[in-house]
Chains A and B, each alone.
Chain A
């Protein structure tokens, strides 16, 4: 399995603060890689660097064999990289169908309007939005909007899908359903890089985990391995040394 996405010695500072420092890791084709770490660890910054919202100060980001560090978001999308956001951004005045069609038409395959609409119908089936294609995006429930966010990203038929806390705010049943959907997406051959705070979910979904802390990589490995790692535990539960009471 080759690396679909590879970060090498990537750094990004904001003013005096190093949000990401000398970070290197790879995402293998076909896998689900989970990115975890305490708040402020730099996970969102990593996503923003990968999909072109920020340019790295140092280091390289290689996707499907080509350097994408510093490319603009729409250029990265054209290469087959899609993102579902934590804070959903539906195109509110447009229908669900149109929202997804934008994803389909401007993604990797550069489809025409008619082809795009066809592609959307398939994706809508998978995600469970088939009955709602004509509804305005603004009228969906929170769970519906989250599915739309996912459907829209998927409509572009990406090779790599960035899932940014897509489970936040969902109740346990909805979380269960989303997890199933994410598994189905992977079965279709999409590689997934996921950030999640619902730890149960990310630990059970991911093939491998990368742990970030204060912008640096703390650990990498299978979920069980990582959960046993005392440094990782200390990062989350706090240093026992600090208690000294």
Chain B
């Protein structure tokens, strides 16, 4: 029954491609490229739950990724936990924290909320920079032994890659499941008109805190896996506001509120960024370009790529979301 709709097939297909392509080509470079894409897709899809469904723009979304990275790496390095447990624990802790923080900052709306999320990111970054158990400003360097349980560094990198692909797939599945659930309906109503939604009975404070917390889980897990693979985590790279903003660009570029939109946006943006970075002049202006792109999208094509497709091919609304 669920397999009658196109989504599950698209997600399965995408996952299969991600898994099989680098294996078949035996290319580490391809794998690295796809790994980055999987991370971006994870970030964008989960961010979309806030931006596209509930209508709250989480500018500081990268804090989940970074904090998840720190918790996971710390648990593996200092407590010798295995990777899967550490990553899951990181996810749970970060989403619990998000729920608590969320109850507070979600009382703010619009631009005030957006600014508050940046504040949260910067505050956590400052805190971590001064937190000795996590290496302060230098961060944590993962010892090579950490990779031993996974069969050594080379194999570990492949295993982590597949885990990240699984996280990406889960993110897409979650987007789909939520959108078609009662929670999703309530969130979309909040995104359309929060006051009207409240009057209709949608328990807005609770729902907003739930989606904020849910949108933190998989990015935190992904962060855990990503920084484990990188072998090092430090505050600047973990709480990189540029990547946070680029995640927003990906969501808007692809089409906020849709399921495939953020994924397409992530892929497109990664391509664009990759190309631009090879041109010396542009590599320094990454954030400027991201900002300009966002401005153009919001002003002229707020529906993004999916919006464009839906407008020019209305039938597609039914099956391509």
| A and B in contact, CB less than 8 Å | yes
Residue positions of A touching B, CB distance < 8 A: 51, 53, 72-74, 77-78, 82-83, 89, 91-94, 98, 101-103, 105-107, 112-113, 116, 152, 156
Q: How far is the CA of A51 from the CA of B203 in the complex (A)?
A: 14
CB <8 Å contact, A74 and B189: no
CB <8 Å contact, B201 and A156: yes
B28 at the interface (CB under 8 A from A): no
CB <8 Å contact, B181 and A102: no
Which B residues touch A94, using CB under 8 A? 188-189, 192
Q: Known A89-B195, A91-B193, A105-B182; judge A77-B200 contact (CB<8 A).
A: yes
List 5 contacting pairs A-B, 8 Å CB cutoff, sorted by A.
A51-B199, A78-B201, A91-B197, A102-B186, A113-B180
- Tell me how far the C-beta of A233 lies from the nearest C-beta in chain B, rounded to whole angstroms: 35
- Tell me how far the C-beta of B5 lies from the nearest C-beta in chain A, rounded to whole angstroms: 15
CB <8 Å contact, B200 and A72: no
CB <8 Å contact, B193 and A74: no
**Which residue on A lies nearest to B184, using beta carbons?**
A113
B204 at the interface (CB under 8 A from A): yes
Cβ-neighbour of B185 out of A72, A83, A92, A113 (below 8 A)? A113
- Tell me how far the C-beta of A70 lies from the nearest C-beta in chain B, rounded to whole angstroms: 15
B202 at the interface (CB under 8 A from A): yes
- Tell me how far the C-beta of A201 lies from the nearest C-beta in chain B, rounded to whole angstroms: 24
CB <8 Å contact, A74 and B199: yes
Q: How far is the CA of A105 from the CA of B207 in the complex (A)?
A: 14
CB <8 Å contact, A106 and B201: yes
Q: How far is the CA of A231 from the CA of B182 in the complex (A)?
A: 51
Q: How far is the CA of A106 from the CA of B197 in the complex (A)?
A: 9
B123 at the interface (CB under 8 A from A): no
Q: What per-residue 1/0 map shows which CB atoms of B179-223 lie under 8 Å from chain A? A: 011100110110011011111111110000000000000000000
CB <8 Å contact, A152 and B200: yes
- Tell me how far the C-beta of B253 lies from the nearest C-beta in chain A, rounded to whole angstroms: 19
**Which residue on A lies nearest to B196, using beta carbons?**
A89
Which A residues touch B201, using CB under 8 A? 74, 77-78, 103, 106-107, 156
CB <8 Å contact, B188 and A156: no
Q: How far is the CA of A103 from the CA of B198 in the complex (A)?
A: 10
CB <8 Å contact, B182 and A112: yes
Instruction: Knowing that A74-B203, A105-B182, A106-B200 touch, tell me 7 more A-B residue pairs with CB under 8 angstroms.
Output: A51-B199, A89-B195, A91-B193, A92-B193, A102-B200, A113-B180, A113-B182
Which B residues touch A107, using CB under 8 A? 200-201
CB <8 Å contact, A106 and B202: yes
Tell me the dominant secondary structure on chain B's binding face.
Answer: helix
Which A residues touch B197, using CB under 8 A? 91, 102
Q: How far is the CA of A113 from the CA of B202 in the complex (A)?
A: 13
- Tell me how far the C-beta of B7 lies from the nearest C-beta in chain A, rounded to whole angstroms: 17
**Which residue on B lies nearest to A72, using beta carbons?**
B198
Interface size on B, residues (CB 8 A): 20
**Which residue on B lies nearest to A158, using beta carbons?**
B201
Cβ-neighbour of B192 out of A53, A93, A101 (below 8 A)? A93
CB <8 Å contact, B196 and A91: yes
Q: How far is the CA of A50 from the CA of B202 in the complex (A)?
A: 17
Which A residues touch B180, using CB under 8 A? 113
Which B residues touch A77, using CB under 8 A? 198-201
Which B residues touch A53, using CB under 8 A? 199
Which A residues touch B182, using CB under 8 A? 105, 112-113, 116
Which A residues touch B196, using CB under 8 A? 89, 91
Q: What per-residue 1/0 map shows which CB atoms of B154-192 lie under 8 Å from chain A? A: 000000000000000000000000001110011011001
**Which residue on B lies nearest to A102, using beta carbons?**
B189
Q: How far is the CA of A78 from the CA of B201 in the complex (A)?
A: 6
- Tell me how far the C-beta of B206 lies from the nearest C-beta in chain A, rounded to whole angstroms: 9
Q: How far is the CA of A3 from the CA of B317 in the complex (A)?
A: 48
Cβ-neighbour of A105 out of B185, B193, B199 (below 8 A)? B185
CB <8 Å contact, A113 and B189: no
Q: How far is the CA of A1 from the CA of B203 in the complex (A)?
A: 32
Which B residues touch A106, using CB under 8 A? 186, 200-203
Q: How far is the CA of A72 from the CA of B197 in the complex (A)?
A: 12
Q: How far is the CA of A149 from the CA of B193 in the complex (A)?
A: 14
**Which residue on A lies nearest to B192, using beta carbons?**
A91
Which A residues touch B195, using CB under 8 A? 73, 89
Q: Known A89-B193, A91-B192, A93-B192; judge A101-B200 contact (CB<8 A).
A: no
- Tell me how far the C-beta of A159 lies from the nearest C-beta in chain B, rounded to whole angstroms: 13
Which B residues touch A116, using CB under 8 A? 182
Which B residues touch A73, using CB under 8 A? 195, 198-199
Which B residues touch A103, using CB under 8 A? 200-201
- Tell me how far the C-beta of B321 lies from the nearest C-beta in chain A, rounded to whole angstroms: 13
Which B residues touch A152, using CB under 8 A? 200
Q: What per-residue 1/0 map shows which CB atoms of B3-17 lie under 8 Å from chain A? A: 000000000000000
- Tell me how far the C-beta of B99 lies from the nearest C-beta in chain A, rounded to whole angstroms: 19
- Tell me how far the C-beta of B109 lies from the nearest C-beta in chain A, rounded to whole angstroms: 16
CB <8 Å contact, A74 and B198: yes
Q: How far is the CA of A51 from the CA of B199 in the complex (A)?
A: 8
CB <8 Å contact, A101 and B185: yes
Q: How far is the CA of A89 from the CA of B202 in the complex (A)?
A: 15
**Which residue on A lies nearest to B183, using beta carbons?**
A113
Which B residues touch A74, using CB under 8 A? 198-204
CB <8 Å contact, A83 and B189: no
